[in-house]
Amino acid sequence: MHLFSKRNMVLLRELTVTDFKLRYQQSALGYLWSILKPLMLFAVMYVVFALFLAMGGDIPNYPVYLLTGISFWTFFSEATTQGLQAVVGRGDLIRKINFPKYIIVLSGTISALINLFFNLIVVFVFAIVSGVQFRWTVFLLPLNIIEMYLLALGIGLFLGTLYVKFRDVGYLWEIGLQLFFYATPIIYPITMVSATHPFMAKLMMLSPMAQIIQDIRYNLVTDQTETMWSMWGTPLAGIVPIGFTLIVFAFGVCFFAKNSKQFAEVM
C-alpha cells in the first residue's frame, strides 16, 4: 500500500479532523481553548517573572517575546503527547482496518499544528498592537516551524511505539517535559545565564528547542535576541541542533516502522 495514496490521505484528513473535534468536545468554550490555554499560561508567567521578578527588562517587546516562546512550547508539548498516545488511543481501529499506522501519529501531531496556527494569529495580533517592527526574517518562520515539527514528530513516533508496551513512558515524558521546559530559555532570557555562566549558556543553545525558539524570536520579535548562531559565532554550530533533529526524526520513523506490525498483537 502506497504511503501517500489517495486512500491514506483521506484517512489522514478524517482522523485529523476527528482528533481536533474530540479534543474540545463537551467543553463550553470549545475551540477557544486552543488559544486560551497559552494565553492564560502567558498571563501567569508574565505577572510572576516580568512584573514581580523583573525579568526581560532589557529585551524589546518582552511580552511578545514571552508569548512567542510559550506558544511554540505548547505546540511541542501537545504534538509529542498526542504522538505518544495516538496508537493506544486508536487501538480499536488498528485491530479492524489494515492501513499504515504512521497515519495515526501524523493526525495527532497535525492536530497540534492546527492549534499552533491559531496561536500564531494571536501572536501576530499581539505583536502588531505592541508595535513590533517586522523584518524580512519573518519569512524564515516556516523553516523554524518545519524543524520543530520534525523534532516533535520524531519524538512522538518513538514514544508512541514504546507506549504500546510500556505505559510508564507517559509518566516519564510528563516529567521530562517539565525538565525540558525549565532547561529551555522560555520564561527567562538566555542572557541571564550567559551573564554568569557563558559556557553553560552556549551548551544550552545547542538544544534543538532552544535553538528553534530563539531563532523564532529573532525572526519575529527582535533582532536583539541571542541565538545559537550569535553565541557560537559560526554557522557550523548549527550542525549540532539541526543534525540532532534530523537524527531524532529518522530514528523515530525507523523505530516506528520496525515495530508497527506488532501493534495489534501487543495491545
CB atoms within 10 A of CB 45: 18
Residues 6 or more apart whose CB falls under 8 angstroms from that of 77 comprise 177, 181
pLDDT at 2: 54
pLDDT at 139: 95
CA atoms within 13 A on the CB side of 196: 3
- The DSSP annotation for 123-160 comes to HHHHHHHHT----GGGGGHHHHHHHHHHHHHHHHHHHH
pLDDT at 239: 92
Quote the CA–CA distance of 68 and 28 in Å, as a whole number. 26
Q: Which segments in the chain show pLDDT lower than 50?
A: 1
pLDDT at 256: 93
pLDDT at 154: 96
Quote the CA–CA distance of 186 and 218 in Å, as a whole number. 13
Helix ranges restricted to H, 53-101: 62-89, 91-96
**Residue with cell string 491559531:** 118
Quote the CA–CA distance of 226 and 195 in Å, as a whole number. 12
Alpha-carbon distance values, 97 to 8, 31, 57, 207 (Å)? 12, 30, 56, 39
Q: Quick check: helix, strand or coil at residue 222?
A: coil
Q: Which amino acid is at 34?
A: S
